[in-house]
Amino acid sequence: MIESIVNELVQRLRGDQVSVGPTERIVYSRDLWPLHTLRLRRGVLPPLPGVIVWPENEQDVVAILEVARRRKVPVTPYGGGSGVLGGAMASAGGIIMDLKRMSRLVGIDPLCGTCVVEPGILGAHLEARLNERGWTLGHFPSSLMTATVGGYVATRSAGQFSSRFGKIEDMVVSLRLVAGTGEVLDTEEDSLSAGTPDYNQILLGSEGTLGVVTRATLKIHPVPAASAYEGVSFGTVEAGLSAMRRIMQAGLRPTVLRLYDEIDTYIALQDKGEGKERRARHGPGLLDRFPRAVRGALRVALARPERIQAVLDRILPGEVLLVFGFEGEPEEVAASVPEARTLSQRCGGRLLGPEPGLRWLRKRYDVSYNMPQLFQAGAFVDTIEVAGPWDRIPGLYHAVRREINRHVLVMAHFSHAYPEGVSIYFSIAGSAAGEEAAERRYFDAWNGAMRVVMAHRCTVSHHHGVGRMKAAFVAREQAGFLPFYHTLKARLDPDGILNPGKLYGEAPVASAG
């Protein structure tokens, strides 16, 4: 059957746009979901696709979907593969549609402040091309170097500057996409009249289950003329959160507003400036010796996360770091920074000057490249991003830590702040005696965190998407919306070929325990 599908695809496309090579099938079977990395250590591969295709234009996408629908073969749209929840995980024997050859910046409209792009363009490449002409998208996720615009749209992505520029759903003006029926839809043509629904908001975040995006019109902004970044120290997470809330509700528009809890603060300040001062005051602590622990017994240590947490509670100085930054016209920056300082001081903040903020700016993409070292040491690491309104955030933060510290070491920072609330980005690390035990511990931590989030009436997903890992939890959280989604799915993808099992689909690929 695969051979006949390949022959038909080659007839509709070209030979160099289709592959059934074993290397390609293995590479394209997964995204960066850490669960797959855990399983690969014991030689377990995810389900392999049957064929990989590389469309080069919208007509190619239509042709591929027509073949897939006629053959009843599942199709998974694929961008940079940087997702961490299994959203681009292949269906066994299905088609992977890699969109990276559709990577043009089609045009810029300086009067409207918009650009038109194809879905396969990498975020870093788009930003560089816009910068050459004096523009910026203002969207800087940690995956900037490897994520595509199509991935942004599919997952409702947020960049590090979201408090000023918004998330990707605030940047999308219109979308063109091909539905599972082969129809080409354009939200610009269907949303011009007053009173019509904003179809963009229905399609954004649908993770390729309703259609394959072929073009996006996005808002862009002039490259800022001035910038300023600073750091502030607080005695408690609650005090730092209060400062964040006041800054956002005062009408300021910080480019960056990030608060680190005690563990994340200590790590962030180890190398320079404030970290040296803190070591002089408190002496060396466990994290000062952490590199040697990595080389030696990290796996053993992370198998006892509660003990590590107890040691950290004794040695950490009880300070948390807030980083804020403003970009824009010089007058706006000059007016905003003093007000942010004043609001921070009213909440008990101690001003640290520019260095912590500038250091964050220099190193803001480093964390993604450090994570593989923990897997190589025999441990596992992951991130869990959630969000909620300001009044529930402190309780949610402490409750998640209490719940999952039995299984993993956990730290967090708070970012993507809005007048109404903020996102919490938990980082977890753990280990166990044996790979299967490690996987059970991984799921115990995840499921515990999700249960706590739902009990606090907060959202389990803010900007990483849903994929396979969060599908069961999002289906419960959004149960009232599901009948509408299924009606739309039946209209746009009646044969169910588009990225099955994602978003509201199957439960995670292991027992929830």
Q: Assess whether pLDDT exceeds 80 at residue 126.
A: yes
How confident is the model over 319-344, as a mean pLDDT? 97
For residue 62, is it within any domain?
Answer: yes
Q: Are residues 35 and 7 in the same domain?
A: yes
Give the count of domains, the chain: 3
Q: Are residues 210 and 145 in the same domain?
A: yes
Q: Which domain holds residue 292?
A: 226-455
Q: Give residue-wise pLDDT tens across range 150-176.
A: 999 999 999 999 999 999 999 999 999
For residue 214, is it within any domain?
Answer: yes
Q: Assess whether pLDDT exceeds 70 at residue 285.
A: no
For residue 508, is it within any domain?
Answer: no
By percentage, how much of the chain surpasses pLDDT 90?
80
Q: Give residue-wise pLDDT tens across range 231-267.
A: 999 999 999 999 999 999 999 999 999 999 999 998 8
pLDDT grade for 270, boundaries at 50, 70 and 90: low
Joined together, the tokens standing for residue 177 give 């996409």
pLDDT grade for 271, boundaries at 50, 70 and 90: low
User: At 142, phi and psi to the nearest 5?
Assistant: -60, -25
E runs forming strands in 390-444: 409-415, 421-430
Question: Do the beta carbons of residue 62 and residue 41 sit within 8 Å?
Answer: no
- Between the alpha carbon of residue 405 and those of residues 183, 307, 316, 486, the distances in Å are 49, 10, 17, 37
Question: Which residue has 């179809």 as its token pair?
Answer: 199
The contacts of residue 402 (CB under 8 Å, 6+ apart) are none
Q: How many CB atoms lie within 10 A of CB 478?
A: 17
Q: Are residues 256 and 210 in the same domain?
A: no
Joined together, the tokens standing for residue 47 give 């389900």
Q: Give residue-wise pLDDT tens across range 377-392.
A: 889 999 999 999 999 9
Q: Assess whether pLDDT exceeds 90 at residue 508.
A: no
CATH of the domain at 89: 3.30.43.10
Distance CA 428, CA 426 (A): 6
Q: Are residues 301 and 444 in the same domain?
A: yes
Predicted pLDDT of residue 30 = 94
Q: Kindly give the pairing relationship between strand 51-53 and strand 95-98.
A: parallel
Question: Do the beta carbons of residue 205 and residue 156 sit within 8 Å?
Answer: yes
By percentage, how much of the chain surpasses pLDDT 70?
91
Check residues 3 and 1 and name the one with the higher pLDDT: 3
Q: Are residues 194 and 236 in the same domain?
A: no
Q: Assess whether pLDDT exceeds 70 at residue 192.
A: no
How confident is the model over 300-308, as a mean pLDDT? 86
For residue 493, is it within any domain?
Answer: no
Question: Do the beta carbons of residue 136 and residue 130 sit within 8 Å?
Answer: yes
Question: Do the beta carbons of residue 324 and residue 247 sit within 8 Å?
Answer: yes
